[in-house]
Amino acid sequence: MVGSEFLWPGRFHERLHISTRQYARLVREWDKSIGLDPTSYGTHSMRRTKVAHIYRKTGNLRAVQLLLGHTKMDSTVRYLGVELEDALAIAEVVEI
């Protein structure tokens, strides 16, 4: 893909990409096709899972904040469900 090309282009010229609704339908069909419950897995859970893995592997909340497009770190912390134990575990590995 190059620059402004879309992964899933729209079918009509005035629409450059598929809508979020169309994308959600695709994901629901993919879930069904591999035997997953579509009510348990969707576009939002995939978004959340990706950044949760990034956070667990790196401990870098700022990177996750940027990826999610959050303006406030508090939002990112709440979104990930970061607990005090997580913060303390990260602090223990960092030597000063």
Residue ranges of domains in the chain? 1-41, 42-96
Question: For residue 56, is pLDDT > 80?
Answer: yes
- Tell me: pLDDT of 33 over 90: yes
Cβ proximity of 9 and 17 under 8 Å: yes
pLDDT of residue 71: 92
Whether the Cβ atoms of residue 5 and residue 17 lie closer than 8 Å to each other = no
pLDDT per position as a tens digit, 61-88: 899 999 999 999 888 888 888 776 777 7
- Residue 62 CA: distances (Å) to CA of 8, 11, 77, 83: 29, 37, 10, 16
Whole-prediction pTM value? 0.55
pLDDT score of 12 more than 70: no
pLDDT for the residue 19: 78
As a whole number of Å, the CA-based R_g of the chain is: 18
- With a pLDDT cut of 90, the percent of the chain lying above it is 17
